[in-house]
Amino acid sequence: MPSPTVGALLTELDAASTVVLPRIRGLEALTNDNLSGDLLQLLNVELARLRRLEALYGTARNAVQDLADESFPDLPDTEIPPAIFAELERQETAIMLAVEGFAPIPPATTIAVELGDPSPKE
């Protein structure tokens, strides 16, 4: 079951498609009529724009559905065999022990600038 966020996004994308698809069908039917070149060109530009929008809605819908399939917005733990988990914990412990030997360089609190004697321009 998708989260409310995913469900809302899918609903909005479906609603956008229900507006765009009839406009595409209407424009396609209209371009079959005897039209002036200028009007036909304008309609074809608008038709291309609406087809692009519908394709984007489909791409977005697929991406949102893919996210939902991956438990979005949750990020569940990956289950691994106990022996591998134990090895991972040992590695984590080793890294933590290694990090204990380091400290960040503190930020500078003062700056010193020494200017040389001025020299004449040549």
How do residues 47-88 score in pLDDT, each as one tens digit? 999 999 999 999 999 999 998 888 888 888 999 999 999 999
User: 3-class SS at 16?
Assistant: helix
Compute the distance between CA of residue 65 and CA of residue 14 in angstroms, rounded to an integer: 12
If you average pLDDT over residues 20-27, what whole number do you get? Answer: 94
| Residues 54/20, Cβ–Cβ less than 8 Å | yes
| Residues 53/13, Cβ–Cβ less than 8 Å | no
Provide the mean pLDDT of the chain. 90
Q: How many CB atoms lie within 10 A of CB 41?
A: 11
Alpha helices in 31-108 (DSSP H): 37-69, 82-99
* pLDDT at position 82: 94
* pLDDT at position 55: 96
**Structure pTM?**
0.61
Compute the distance between CA of residue 20 and CA of residue 49 in angstroms, rounded to an integer: 10
Q: Which amino acid is at 51?
A: R
Query: In which band, very low, low, confident or very high, does the pLDDT at 2 lie, cut at 50, 70 and 90?
Result: low
